[in-house]
Amino acid sequence: MKKVVILGSTGSIGTQSLEVISEKSGFLVLAISGNSNIELLEKQVREFNPKFVAVPNEEKAKEFKIKIKDTETQVLSGKESLEYIASLPDADIVITGIVGIAGLLPTLAAVKAGKRIGLANKETLVTAGDIVMSTAQKTGAEIIPVDSEHSAIFQCMAARVNDKDYDSELKRILLTASGGPFFGKTKDELRNMKAADALRHPNWSMGAKITVDSATLMNKGLEVLEAKHLFSVPLSKVDVLVHRQSIVHSMVEFADNAVIAQMGVPDMKLPIQYALTYPERLSMCDNALDLTKTPLTFEYADTDTFRCLSLAYAAGETGGTLPTVLNGANEAAVALFLEGKIGFLDIGNIVEMAMDDHKVIKNPQIQDILSADLWAREYVMANLHKIQ
Ligand code: NAD
Ligand code: MG
């Protein structure tokens, strides 16, 4: 039995991970965590009977303890509880389904403990990619991407990700993007888009933050930075192609011009299952791909209209704490957009302002990264009046 910890079990990645586990034999849920939806967390405890549940918020944890006092599950509280369950000596695999930089320290704890990590939380690599990847090399932690594009690239590269000779064979990564709900729209049209419009993604059903990021193309920007760290490639070797059908999940082009793609219907259960079972593949009962149904198209992204993608490349080129500021300002701005407090185009505008005003720290330690994140969030709140 493989013992699995799921960080963020109440979210989109978390619930789908539990679905995959319940459909397969050979996996046992050791620990889960949830931030606010304790009704769903209670259902999960009763169904999967984990040894531990981490609820970082102390008040919620108290409430939750009472709810499940008839079970054998132990409730842990406080922020450290996430790091604790991420590094349980018994755990074989940790799925990181927490959204935002809140996933950084728990993911790093799993890396330090040398676990296999099914990495969904892309913000971890965007903000602290150098630290996370070098720590993984030391501890032997295996980072298997869950993000569909990175899972695709990982599959296209087969087992050669860490092979030194690979650099010269790899020409470029072609990261595909659905284009999101606002593909083809002009800046004037985008100005009036509301949260409800942005949350209507054409192909994927995901949490609110990543869905808005898909609409601004910031999600693709974060994924470019995620790819840079995961596959240790320069940004000049990562290109984005808009592929509206979301069938080709990404591609790798080699020195001999061979292009290898991984395809499948848009369903996160495939990359989640692959991270759990790699290098084996298990059967998947539904969602076989019928290639006769949809023509496949590819085109370059409109980075003038969707500035966030260019901002992410710029942040990655500078490096240091700048990607953290891009990410932190974006998290704060997306939350404000979801609350109806700022407009759609304001997200990119305020992220760019924060990047311009930030004093970059080169080779940051974790504490510098956490401070830069806080700085970016405070910057957004303090400068809102300038964008409205
Ligand atoms: P979601 O909003 O559906 O779920 C987020 C989870 O994180 C919930 O369980 C929530 O309780 C927990 N959480 C939120 N804030 C927290 C905090 N401060 N401390 C501790 N826990 C907290 O998000 P999601 O769509 O499942 O995305 C999770 C991560 O996976 C994100 O980084 C996202 O970019 C990435 N991802 C998601 C998908 C997808 O299909 N949903 C695809 C690729 C990558
Ligand atoms: Mg993705």
pLDDT of 290-333, one tens digit each?
999 989 999 999 999 999 999 999 999 999 999 999 999 999 99
Q: Which atom of ligand 1 is nearest to the CA of 204?
A: 40
The answer, yes or no, to whether residue 83 has pLDDT greater than 90, is yes
The answer, yes or no, to whether residue 210 has pLDDT greater than 80, is yes
Q: If pLDDT is split at 50, 70 and 90, which confidence band does 287 have?
A: confident
What is residue 162's predicted lDDT score, i.e. its pLDDT?
64
* Class level of CATH domain 154-266+285-386: mainly alpha
pLDDT of 90-119, one tens digit each?
999 999 999 999 999 999 999 999 999 999
In the chain, % of residues over pLDDT 90: 93
Other Cβ atoms within 10 Å of 223 Cβ, number:
30
User: How remote is the CA of residue 183 from the centroid of ligand 2, in Å?
Assistant: 16
What is residue 165's predicted lDDT score, i.e. its pLDDT?
72
- The mean pLDDT of 217-232, rounded to a whole number, is 97
Q: Which atom of ligand 1 is nearest to the CA of 123?
A: 32
- The mean pLDDT of 238-261, rounded to a whole number, is 97
The answer, yes or no, to whether residue 159 has pLDDT greater than 70, is no
- The mean pLDDT of 272-301, rounded to a whole number, is 93
Q: If pLDDT is split at 50, 70 and 90, which confidence band does 218 have?
A: very high
What is residue 164's predicted lDDT score, i.e. its pLDDT?
67
pLDDT of 62-77, one tens digit each?
999 999 999 999 999 9
In the chain, % of residues over pLDDT 70: 98
User: How remote is the CA of residue 167 from the centroid of ligand 1, in Å?
Assistant: 32
Tell me the residues surrounding ligand 2 (ion) with CB < 5 Å: 147-149
Of the residues 79, 132, 206, which should be mutated to test ligand 1's pocket, given the most ligand atoms within 8 Å of the CB?
Answer: 206
Tell the residue nearest (CA) to atom 19 of ligand 1. 102
Contact at 8 Å (CB) between 108 and 366?
yes
CA atoms within 13 A on the CB side of 187: 12
Q: What is the mean pLDDT of the chain?
A: 96
User: How remote is the CA of residue 147 from the centroid of ligand 2, in Å?
Assistant: 5
The full set of domain ranges for the chain reads: 2-145, 154-266+285-386
What is residue 207's predicted lDDT score, i.e. its pLDDT?
94
pTM listed for this prediction: 0.97
What is residue 161's predicted lDDT score, i.e. its pLDDT?
67
- The mean pLDDT of 278-294, rounded to a whole number, is 90
Q: Which atom of ligand 1 is nearest to the CA of 206?
A: 41
Nearest ligand, measured from the Cα of 149: 2
3-state secondary structure the chain: CEEEEEECCCCHHHHHHHHHHHHCCCEEEEEEECCCCHHHHHHHHHHHCCCEEEECCHHHHHHHHHHCCCCCCEEEECCHHHHHHHCCCCCCEEEECCCCHHHHHHHHHHHHCCCEEEECCCHHHHHHHHHHHHHHHHHCCEEEECCHHHHHHHHHCCCCCCCCCHHHHEEEEEEEECCCCCCCCCHHHHHCCCHHHHCCCCCCCCCHHHHHHHHHCHHHHHHHHHHHHHCCCCHHHEEEEECCCCCEEEEEEECCCCEEEEECCCCCHHHHHHHHHCCCCCCCCCCCCCCCCCCCCCEECCCCCCHHHHHHHHHHHHCCCHHHHHHHHHHHHHHHHHCCCCCHHHHHHHHHHHHHHCCCCCCCCHHHHHHHHHHHHHHHHHHHHHHC
pLDDT of 31-52, one tens digit each?
999 999 999 999 999 999 999 9
The answer, yes or no, to whether residue 285 has pLDDT greater than 80, is no
- Nearest Cα to 363, choosing from 105, 108, 139, 128? 128
Task: Specify the CATH architecture of the domain 2-145.
Answer: 3-Layer(aba) Sandwich (3.40)
The residues lining ligand 1, judged by C-beta closer than 6 Å to any ligand atom, are: 8-14, 34-36, 56, 97-99, 102, 120-123, 147, 204, 206-207, 209-210, 268
